[in-house]
Amino acid sequence: MTSISEFMTSDHRRCDEFFNQAEEAVSQGKWDEAQQGWSEFQQAIEHHFSMEEQVLFPAFEQATGSTAGPTSVMRMEHDQMRQLFAQVGQALGAKDADTLLGASETLMILMQQHNMKEEQILYPMSMRALPDPDNTLNEMQQC
Amino acid sequence: MRTDGLNFDNIPPLSIPYGFFATAPLFGVLAGLVLLFQPQALTARWDPAALALVHLLTLGFAAQIMLGALCQVMPVVSSQPIPLSRTQALLVRGCISLGTVLLSLTFLFPGPILFSLTLAAFVIGFGLFISRLIQALIKIRPAGHTLVSIRLAAFCLLITLIAGVILLWWRSSPQTAPLAPILNTDQHALWGIQGWGLLLVVGVSFQVIPMFHVAPDFPARVQRWLPGALMLSLLLGTVLDGSAAIALMALSKLLVLGYCALASRHLRQRRRKLLDYTVRFWQLALGCIALSMVVNLATLGWPELPNRLPLAELSAILFGFGGLLAVIFGMLQKIVPFLLYLHLQRQCLTQPEKLLTLPNMKQLISTARSKRQWWLHCTALCGLLIALWLPLLTPLAALLLIADFVWLGWTLHQAFALYRQHLN
């Protein structure tokens, strides 16, 4: 059976793929394609955030008895990324490729270092801390 | 489960990594000046100026950047920051900078006083940093593959420094040297460059190539075994003698060649195909490191070759300037703007209206600036390689080297100025 770590890591890669398609379409001036890629990315990543913010993080906080630990930093980083989504969205509306690619580069690095913390530390730690990780994963998949 | 030891948010104050990054290019310029006024340094490897040149680049430039980057990367890959306060980081930076200048002077004017001062500066600077790094590294369990590489690299740095101190002791004040050199000069260089330098590059590449460029992950088996195998072949190649040592050294070169081929393939398979000068710096570095390994293998197979051709110098320029320094230049194009953005964003969290006006990474260091850096680095590399055969051109190569580092320093300064402007 898939673990939380494997499932969420592969979901990160799925989001990267949409992000990539949107960014590449912008660099080639294909704005319609970019718009479609970007909305697919936003849907995918917001779904990913919901699985974490609504199921995984509360379960982790309950199991460890702490809401001020790593999950609060992860939530803050989600908000930081959402601010960059807004900037990219604005630039997409204005068809401003330079601003968009600058903001998307920033978002990409922010997102990747966030993913690295989750994949290397938080997910493995959740699987050890949660009383029934398979059940939590099930709930996340139904989110 | 305890989570209070996790410091996800504990990114070091900007002044710690940025301080190292901003100081380092000055040593590159100093190295260029040494080459400009002492052009024989390029081909006469035992010349005091050549030793000064090499250490200005390796300790003054490369090591300082690597220490700064480690301060930044440790909390991200392990959640364990290096427990170094602002003042301690300043002390480390000051002592390593001073030590590097004193070391260069010790090569030029050997004597017990300069040597003692150099030793004191390095013991404080590196001693403090390495002890704090070890403190962070032993807390981390289980260690990921990048951390294994960082641990092995830190061990190689320690061996290189101890061996270097003993060698310098023998050179400056042989009558007071407490013990015989544990490594000869070639081995000291090998542990520094192929141990500390390369292991760090290998470990970092496992993380950053897939991460920044959306490339496939390196095979788990390679990530697990390569750093250890490199380290082991280096260790056995040092302690054994004769044909066994040569065979192990050849094996380590072949492993590095294999790594370069694999990393290049992963870069080619990246799905993020936008124009990116960090990718170009990586490609240049992997190509140069591979070429340098071919030169080393040729030297192992035909030991009389270096009598006819400047192969040791060729390999050193390819590996050091074309390889390790290119990785550093490329990584700085991403790390620095990200770092500045991250700190700006954190300071604006309470003022959302300010967030929309923050400069993005490409405004902090533009693609045009990175492009110029790439061309300057390639041109300086070509200049150095040509000057090996046409020594008359060495001053020109030195000027190109200076231009490369001045541009880097200026770029970092401009990015920081923009950061300051938005901070107010």
Q: What is the CATH number of the domain that holds A77?
A: 1.20.120.520
Q: Shortest Cα distance from B72 to chain A (angstroms)?
A: 11
Q: Shortest Cα distance from A47 to chain B (angstroms)?
A: 21
CA distance B127 to B243: 36
The yes-or-no verdict on residue B78 having pLDDT over 80 is no
pLDDT of residue B372: 98
Contacts of B272 in chain A (CB under 8 A): 20, 23-24, 108
Mutate to test the interface with B, among A10, A17, A116, A118 (most CBs of B within 10 A): A116
Residue A111 in any domain: the answer is yes
Domain that holds residue B396: 285-424
pLDDT in tens, A94-124: 999 999 999 999 999 889 889 988 988 899 9
Contacts of B78 in chain A (CB under 8 A): 120-121
The yes-or-no verdict on residue B7 having pLDDT over 60 is no
B272 close to A (CB below 8 A): yes
Domain that holds residue A48: 4-131
Contacts of A88 in chain B (CB under 8 A): none
Residue B362 in any domain: the answer is yes
Residue A136 in any domain: the answer is no
Contact B83, B135 (CB under 8 A): yes
- Report CA-CA distances (Å) from B298 to B249, B254, B255, B388: 12, 12, 15, 18
Partner-chain contact A116 B78, CB within 8 Å: no
Give the mean pLDDT of A49-71: 90
pLDDT in tens, B185-239: 888 998 998 899 999 899 989 988 988 888 888 999 999 999 999 999 888 888 8
Contact B74, B65 (CB under 8 A): no
Residue A35 in any domain: the answer is yes
Mutate to test the interface with B, among A24, A28, A108 (most CBs of B within 10 A): A108
Contact A99, A84 (CB under 8 A): no
Residue A142 in any domain: the answer is no
Residue B2 in any domain: the answer is no
CA distance B309 to B319: 17
Residue A58 in any domain: the answer is yes
Say which of B76, B337, B356 has its CB closest to residue A113.
B76
pLDDT tier at B142 (50, 70, 90 boundaries)? low
The closest alpha carbon to A26, from A103, A100, A110, belongs to A100
pLDDT of residue B144: 67
The yes-or-no verdict on residue A40 having pLDDT over 90 is yes
Provide the b/e sequence for A65-95 (b: ≥16 CB within 10 Å): ebeebbbebbeebbebbebbbebbbebbeee
The yes-or-no verdict on residue B294 having pLDDT over 80 is yes
Residue B390 in any domain: the answer is yes
The yes-or-no verdict on residue B141 having pLDDT over 80 is no
Q: Phi/psi at B86 (nearest 5 deg)? A: -55, -45
Residue B412 in any domain: the answer is yes
The yes-or-no verdict on residue B45 having pLDDT over 90 is no
Give the mean pLDDT of B269-274: 88
pLDDT tier at B4 (50, 70, 90 boundaries)? very low
pLDDT tier at B43 (50, 70, 90 boundaries)? confident
Give the mean pLDDT of B127-145: 82
pLDDT of residue B356: 73
CB-facing half-sphere around the CA of A105: CA atoms within 13 A:
29
Residue B87 in any domain: the answer is no
Say which of A16, A23, A83 has its CB closest to residue B274.
A23
Domain count, chain A: 1
Contact B217, B276 (CB under 8 A): no
Domain count, chain B: 1
